[in-house]
A and B are shown apart, each in its own frame.
Chain A
């Protein structure tokens, strides 16, 4: 086998000219310096990474180095990076990108991220990797020859279609790639049409609903890995969420996907202390809670309503008030009688004692508003954070939290891309029914870059539905966590989540829910 040899004549041309016109020749010391330096920095082997030595200011974690190396040496620069939240997928992608750039294999790069994460990408690449990327905003210039970052929504517009057809990107990186799971969407089609040599897809949740999503995601990178769609359907798919020929399936999946799990990669893990605080409700709160069964709106289960009430009366009222004539009911009067929220008092105690930054999560907008006012009325500067805030507002809220504010109150939607390593206390003001959601919340502070132990406080009213959920769900959380997460079980994840969802939404009473959960736990064990 004789590889093609290509000779670059550019020096020769200069050389001939120099010989003729005897212009001033170059410097001897630069001549030697260039050769010596070049010899030092060039990649002398196909394998191994140059980048870590060239970026001495970053302490990469072993699993990040290993991931980058595997992607380069075995996956040839096309991979799905599917680490759990908070293990540094962006760092891994940056490391791979830097390595390819240093080796001179990649220069024109397109990074697609959700609009809210675009500036964060630019900052990480600049600060950590000394990669200076162009952020494409309102008037994008796609002819840029270097690294560029854009939101997928701005890039996929029809008016740019021709530009992208004619452009070859050395590398395309897509963050939150689970948004591409559906081949019928513009997003998927756009990415599929890009001309790219190397491609990285980043997602913590490669499957959300069914196995087909994984097929379509892999088809963006390596079409044919699972054969044609028809072949996949008959040979691998088994029902909506399961696969047959598992070993073969996983072996193939491992060729394109790397998933690091927190429990596997942390050698000296940041410790996580979880404390469940059971709160005795006040007489008024208890009366309100118990009256809920009497004024149940049609489409809502009692379980839902009770959980709202466990957060704050405002959360429940937001639902109840939609009923006609609600203000005349006994429940309304009981709500009115509640002057203090016992949970909020407890949260205040915690915040006061700690004298550190505290992140509070609630699922309900009404509770969030209430808490913000509540803390302010006690002279504790608090700010709110919601997923639907505009980018600038989000950044500003985080800056405030870094600076003067003591407390950040976030709703569930605020989770994605929210990096708060500078904070290590999380209060769960109310509890999600899905333990994975809880993991995502904690992942905001317990993530790459956190240097201190992390403290988590679950607040739950005694003898409420929350209390029973806690007992069942959170005592078994390790069971769910081990079942979910591992690459081999990535399919079961949906099955489990489906059951969790189903158990919560269709159960009429907490008792029914408990039975369903116990059944699920029994299966997992």
Chain B
């Protein structure tokens, strides 16, 4: 939890005032306060008056301090709504990024475009499992890469394009690059064994059979039957949801991956 908070606040440009093994005190920026602290009335009030607001200083404990918490103190675990709020905020702030490889060079460097996406797969039936699938596509050759993030970690990257660097235009547009990745993902998923879905459907069938033994046919029962049936369908219907957690365009020199 501690590394998460540290990286999170650094990335959000909030100054960390004090830090120990299990607590961290941070001066929020105005933007962070507005987006995270759930106090719209305060900010509305300040805006109306045309005054600058006073962003909060908050202390987060990652271990239960074993005492009552004061104002602007919070206990944070991976189970806290606050943590999930931060994570969602981080996700929104980085949903789309654009990065360029930089190197110190006196000669011109040619950068090639890649689209890199974290797909989020959620397998749901009478339970749920999820996984992230990182996938990248070379927007010139159409080659896929499964370990693009490994490539990235060895490079130095920047938001801005460096001097003497230039980018090649993609032959595949980013949108159709995304579509190609989706198609590949779809194909890969269909190749998987889906025992979980089979089991769920079998269970669903059994539950429906059980349900049918309960009712004798009359009008009033019908609504009840439909209601219970719908619940069983919801509980067991296997489905895979695919969404994108985040993604971006990366320009890196040739033969990097």
Q: Roughly how many angstroms separate A98 CA and B8 CA in the complex, as a whole number?
A: 25
Among A30, A131, A195, contact of B11 (Cβ-Cβ < 8 Å):
A30
Q: Roughly how many angstroms separate A102 CA and B93 CA in the complex, as a whole number?
A: 22
Q: Which of A15-69 contact B (CB under 8 A)?
A: 15-16, 18-19, 25-31, 33-35, 37-39, 41-47, 51, 53-57
Let me know if B239 and A4 touch, CB within 8 A: yes
Q: Any chain A CB within 8 A of the CB of B129?
A: yes
| Residues in chain B near residue A29, CB distance under 8 A | 7, 10-11
Q: Roughly how many angstroms separate A222 CA and B232 CA in the complex, as a whole number?
A: 10
Let me know if A15 and B91 touch, CB within 8 A: no
Let me know if B231 and A31 touch, CB within 8 A: no
* Min C-beta distance of A198 to chain B, whole Å: 7
Among A42, A55, A73, contact of B79 (Cβ-Cβ < 8 Å):
A55
Q: Which of B75, B189, B224, B228 has the most CB of A within 10 A?
A: B228
| Residues in chain A near residue B242, CB distance under 8 A | 5-8
Let me know if A55 and B77 touch, CB within 8 A: yes
Apart from the given pairs A1-B194, A219-B214, 11 other A-B contacts in the complex at a CB distance below 8 Å:
A10-B243, A11-B245, A15-B178, A26-B248, A28-B99, A76-B127, A103-B128, A195-B231, A197-B235, A222-B207, A224-B214
Q: Any chain B CB within 8 A of the CB of A3?
A: yes
Interface string of B195-234 (1 = CB under 8 A from A): 0111001010001001111111000000010011011001
**Are A105 and B128 CB-contacts (below 8 A) given A5-B242, A26-B95?**
yes
Q: Which residues of A contact B (CB under 8 A)?
A: 1-8, 10-12, 14-16, 18-19, 25-31, 33-35, 37-39, 41-47, 51, 53-57, 72-73, 76-78, 98, 102-105, 129-132, 192-193, 195-198, 219, 222-225, 227-228, 230-231
Let me know if B215 and A223 touch, CB within 8 A: yes
| Residues in chain B near residue A33, CB distance under 8 A | 4, 7-8, 11, 90, 94
Q: Roughly how many angstroms separate A501 CA and B75 CA in the complex, as a whole number?
A: 51
CB-CB nearest in chain A for B116: A31
Among B77, B120, B212, contact of A38 (Cβ-Cβ < 8 Å):
B120
| Residues in chain A near residue B64, CB distance under 8 A | 56-57
| Residues in chain B near residue A57, CB distance under 8 A | 63-64, 75, 77
Among B79, B214, B241, contact of A228 (Cβ-Cβ < 8 Å):
B214
Q: Any chain A CB within 8 A of the CB of B54?
A: no
* Min C-beta distance of B109 to chain A, whole Å: 19
Q: Any chain A CB within 8 A of the CB of B132?
A: yes
Let me know if A15 and B132 touch, CB within 8 A: no
* Min C-beta distance of B145 to chain A, whole Å: 15
Q: Which residues of B contact A (CB under 8 A)?
A: 4, 7-8, 10-12, 63-64, 75, 77-81, 87, 90-91, 93-99, 118, 120, 122-132, 134, 149, 157, 159, 174-175, 178, 182, 186, 189-190, 194, 196-198, 201, 203, 207, 210-216, 224, 227-228, 230-231, 234-248
Among B87, B125, B190, B227, contact of A37 (Cβ-Cβ < 8 Å):
B87
Let me know if A27 and B240 touch, CB within 8 A: no
| Chain A to chain B contacts (Cβ below 8 Å), 14 pairs | A2-B190, A4-B238, A5-B242, A26-B96, A31-B94, A34-B90, A37-B4, A38-B120, A43-B129, A57-B64, A73-B127, A76-B126, A197-B231, A228-B213
Among A1, A41, A47, A224, contact of B211 (Cβ-Cβ < 8 Å):
A224
| Residues in chain B near residue A12, CB distance under 8 A | 175, 178, 244
| Residues in chain B near residue A34, CB distance under 8 A | 87, 90-91, 94, 245-246
| Residues in chain A near residue B235, CB distance under 8 A | 76-78, 197-198
Q: Roughly how many angstroms separate A160 CA and B151 CA in the complex, as a whole number?
A: 59
Q: Roughly how many angstroms separate A203 CA and B130 CA in the complex, as a whole number?
A: 34
Let me know if A6 and B241 touch, CB within 8 A: yes
Q: Which of B126, B203, B211 has the most CB of A within 10 A?
A: B126
Among B75, B130, B213, contact of A43 (Cβ-Cβ < 8 Å):
B130
Q: Roughly how many angstroms separate A12 CA and B95 CA in the complex, as a whole number?
A: 10
Let me know if A11 and B95 touch, CB within 8 A: yes
**Are A54 and B78 CB-contacts (below 8 A) given A34-B94, A224-B211?**
yes
Let me know if B243 and A11 touch, CB within 8 A: yes
Q: Roughly how many angstroms separate A15 CA and B173 CA in the complex, as a whole number?
A: 12
Q: Which of A27, A105, A192 has the most CB of B within 10 A?
A: A27
Let me know if B129 and A53 touch, CB within 8 A: no
CB-CB nearest in chain A for B96: A18
Among A6, A10, A26, A42, contact of B94 (Cβ-Cβ < 8 Å):
A26
CB-CB nearest in chain A for B122: A104
* Min C-beta distance of A137 to chain B, whole Å: 22
Let me know if A27 and B236 touch, CB within 8 A: no
* Min C-beta distance of B186 to chain A, whole Å: 7
* Min C-beta distance of A2 to chain B, whole Å: 6
Among B123, B213, B236, contact of A76 (Cβ-Cβ < 8 Å):
B236
Q: Roughly how many angstroms separate A98 CA and B78 CA in the complex, as a whole number?
A: 12
Let me know if A45 and B215 touch, CB within 8 A: no
Q: Roughly how many angstroms separate A284 CA and B94 CA in the complex, as a whole number?
A: 85
Q: Roughly how many angstroms separate A29 CA and B239 CA in the complex, as a whole number?
A: 32
* Min C-beta distance of A473 to chain B, whole Å: 42
| Residues in chain A near residue B212, CB distance under 8 A | 224
